[in-house]
């Protein structure tokens, strides 16, 4: 073996080391691309995702309602299938279907917005990827050209140890540049892969939702035909039709009458309490006035005695001196008692401080109260409405909200539970008093979570919705001010 190394030996070793170095970095880079990390949070996409989640939750509730109505209709006998209960079931299904179709459309719009955001994000990451790729190529070429033979030659050819260290430091700069480019490139590649997956998922979701929308539209059209056929059969049998129509009207009137009697009883109790407190305060006011009058009389008598004593003293002084010296003070005027304003306490409105603390100010709460149930559909509106199918005018003192059975029912505002009643056809009824003579009514509740005289907070659980004989579940909700019924939808959040 030769003791002297040939001149080309170091060149070959360094060239192989440079190639090995670049190969190692490319291997690490390619390996890192196979790992898919979670994409960074984008505020706009995050907002859209939250909105999508809310719509999905509503859709689940609506579909549950629809399943309950359809299940009940499938279980009815042939005789029951030609009744007003079946008609009410089908009509509610149509209302729920229309709400589902509307929510589906909203969901498609959210998906379109999501897809647009993902496209923009994908395009931006592609541009970053191309830029970083160019930077990486330039750095790699520089390392190959200058970080291999020449820099090593410069290191070994340095005139001093200090020069060799400086030149070695420049070689380190190239190495770190390559490492930085590789890290950035693999991060952007991961983002691109995640964008591609998210975009593909959104496209799949949109395709599925379009099919779902088409299916719901077909179901809606089928339900409309079924309703028309049932109406036709009912109207042909006029005697049966008239008898069932009377039952339907009586059922509604019974509920309204029961609630109205409870409302009137409670309002009488409120008015009686206000009158009692007014009399108490009036009595206190008169007593205070009498006390003040007595005090003022005593003060006037005391002042009168003081003035007489002062006049007598003055006369005695004048008798002693025949002439009043110059510069003497003028005769002091007689003092009269000053009138004091009587402060009369203002009678309260009869509402306890505890009640005012837990309740919303209904006079300023229009359009801001929370709904008593989530994801409900107003099946029957407030007021007098002509039923186009039955050709009758029905009056509703509140609104009927269709929900899945056993849906939690919550107070729209804090207050005091003042009435609890039960009707066989409408379940439990809960009435809550609020300040300024406002009352809220919740009917057709199953299991209750409150008792009479409970002081409750806003959104506190009152109970769950009960099942209806025609299928599904409906919560009846009313708002009263004194003895005047209000339209609940004007008070609830829009």
Give the count of domains, the chain. 2
- CATH number for the domain that contains residue 200: 1.10.287
More confident residue, 112 or 194: 112
Task: Dump strand ranges (E) for 293-391.
Answer: 377-380, 383-387
Which of 106-110, 121-125, 335-339, 453-457 is predicted with the least confidence, judged by mean pLDDT?
Answer: 335-339
Q: Based on C-alpha coordinates, what's the Rg of the chain?
A: 44
33 pLDDT more than 50: no
- pLDDT tens string 244-279: 777 777 777 888 888 888 888 888 887 887 788 788
* Domain-terminating residue out of 191, 216, 236: 236
Instruction: Answer whether residue 432 is part of any domain.
Output: yes
Q: Determine contact, residues 28/182, Cβ cutoff 8 Å.
A: yes
Specify the pLDDT at position 430.
95
Averaged pLDDT for residues 44-51: 73
Cα(125)–Cα(307) distance, integer angstroms: 100
* 60 belongs to a structural domain: yes
Query: What pLDDT digit, counting tens, does each position of 414-459 carry?
Result: 999 999 999 887 889 999 999 988 999 999 999 899 999 999 999 9
Q: Is residue 220 part of a domain?
A: yes
> Does position 2 have pLDDT exceeding 50, yes or no?
no
Based on the domain organization, do 40 and 182 belong to the same domain? Answer: yes
In a domain, 208, yes or no: yes
Start-to-end C-alpha separation, the chain? 94
Question: Is pLDDT above 50 for 28?
Answer: no
Cβ–Cβ under 8 Å, residues 367 and 490: yes
pLDDT at residue 369 tops 90: yes
For residues 280 and 432, the model is more confident at 432
Does any domain span residue 285?
no
What string of DSSP letters covers 415-434? EEEEEEEEETTTEEEEEEEE
Q: Would 477 be classed as within a structural domain?
A: yes
- By DSSP bridging, strand 392-396 and strand 438-448 are unpaired
Q: Report the percentage of the chain scoring pLDDT > 70.
A: 72
Mean pLDDT of 226-241: 79
pLDDT digits (tens, 9 = 90+) for 466-484: 988 778 899 999 999 988 9
In a domain, 70, yes or no: yes
pTM, full prediction: 0.64
Phi, psi of 168, deg, nearest 5 = -65, -35
Q: Where a domain ends, among 221, 236, 251?
A: 236
The better pLDDT of the pair 486, 272 is held by 486
- As a whole number, mean pLDDT of residues 18-28 equals 47
Does residue 344 lie within any of the structural domains?
A: no
Q: Are residues 232 and 368 in the same domain?
A: no
Domain ends where: 195, 217, 236? 236
Return the CATH number at 475.
2.70.70.10
Look at residue 255 in the predicted model and tell me its pLDDT.
83
Who wins on pLDDT, 447 or 299? 447
pLDDT at 43 over 80: no
Reported as half-sphere exposure (CB side, CA atoms, 13 A), residue 319 has a value of 6
Q: Are residues 67 and 203 in the same domain?
A: yes
Q: Are residues 26 and 167 in the same domain?
A: yes
Reading the block at residue 61, the tokens are 């509730």
Domain residues for the domain of 436 are: 357-491
In whole angstroms, what is the distance from residue 68 CA to residue 473 CA?
Answer: 9
- Residue 379, pLDDT > 80, answer yes
pLDDT of residue 428: 93
Model pLDDT for residues 404-413, shown as the tens digit of each residue:
999 999 999 9
Whole-angstrom Cα distance, residue 56 to residue 279?
57
- Report the C-alpha gap between 150 and 141 in whole angstroms: 13
């Amino acid at each position: 073996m030769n003791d002297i190394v040939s001149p080309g030996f170091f060149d070959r070793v360094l060239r192989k080391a440079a190639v090995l170095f670049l190969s190692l970095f490319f291997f690490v880079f390619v390996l890192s691309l196979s790992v898919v990390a979670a994409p960074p949070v984008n505020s706009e996409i995050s907002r859209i995702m939250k909105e999508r989640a809310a719509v999905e939750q509503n859709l689940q509730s609506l579909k549950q309602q629809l399943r309950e109505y359809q299940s009940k209709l499938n279980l009815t006998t042939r005789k029951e299938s030609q009744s007003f209960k079946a008609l009410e079931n089908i009509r509610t299904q149509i209302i729920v279907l229309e709400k589902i179709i509307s929510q589906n459309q909203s969901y498609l719009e959210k998906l379109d917005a999501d897809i647009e955001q993902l496209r923009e994000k994908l395009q931006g990451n592609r541009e970053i990827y191309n830029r970083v790729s160019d930077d990486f190529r330039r750095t790699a070429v520089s390392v190959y050209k200058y970080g291999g033979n020449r820099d090593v030659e410069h290191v070994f050819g340095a005139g001093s140890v200090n020069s060799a260290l400086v030149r070695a430091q420049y070689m380190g700069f190239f190495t770190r540049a390559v490492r930085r480019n590789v890290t950035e490139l693999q991060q952007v590649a991961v983002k691109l892969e995640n964008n591609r997956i998210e975009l593909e998922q959104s496209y799949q979701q949109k395709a599925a939702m379009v099919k779902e929308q088409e299916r719901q539209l077909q179901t809606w059209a089928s339900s409309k035909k079924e309703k028309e056929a049932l109406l036709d059969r009912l109207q042909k049998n006029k005697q049966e039709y008239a008898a069932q129509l009377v039952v339907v009207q009586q059922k509604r009137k019974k509920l309204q009458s029961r609630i109205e009697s409870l409302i009137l009883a409670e309002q009488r109790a409120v008015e009686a309490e206000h009158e009692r407190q007014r009399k108490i305060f009036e009595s206190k006011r008169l007593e205070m006035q009498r006390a003040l009058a007595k005090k003022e009389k005593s003060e006037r008598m005391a002042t009168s005695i003081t003035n007489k004593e002062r006049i007598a003293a003055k006369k005695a002084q004048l008798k002693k001196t025949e002439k009043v010296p110059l510069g003497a003070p003028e005769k002091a005027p007689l003092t009269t008692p000053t009138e004091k304003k009587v402060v009369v306490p203002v009678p309260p409105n009869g509402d306890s401080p505890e009640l005012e603390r837990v309740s919303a100010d209904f006079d300023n709460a229009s359009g801001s109260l929370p709904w008593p149930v989530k994801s409900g559909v107003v099946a029957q509106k407030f007021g007098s409405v002509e039923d186009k199918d039955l050709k009758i005018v029905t009056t509703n003192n509140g609104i009927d909200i269709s929900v899945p059975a056993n849906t939690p029912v919550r107070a729209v505002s804090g207050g005091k539970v003042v009435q609890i009643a039960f009707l066989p056809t409408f379940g439990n009824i809960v009435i809550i008093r609020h300040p300024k003579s406002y009352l809220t009514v919740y009917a057709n509740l199953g299991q209750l979570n409150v008792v009479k005289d409970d002081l409750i907070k806003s959104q506190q659980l009152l109970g769950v919705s009960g099942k209806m004989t025609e299928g599904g579940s409906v919560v009846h909700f009313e708002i009263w001010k004194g003895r005047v019924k209000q339209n609940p939808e004007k008070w609830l959040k829009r």
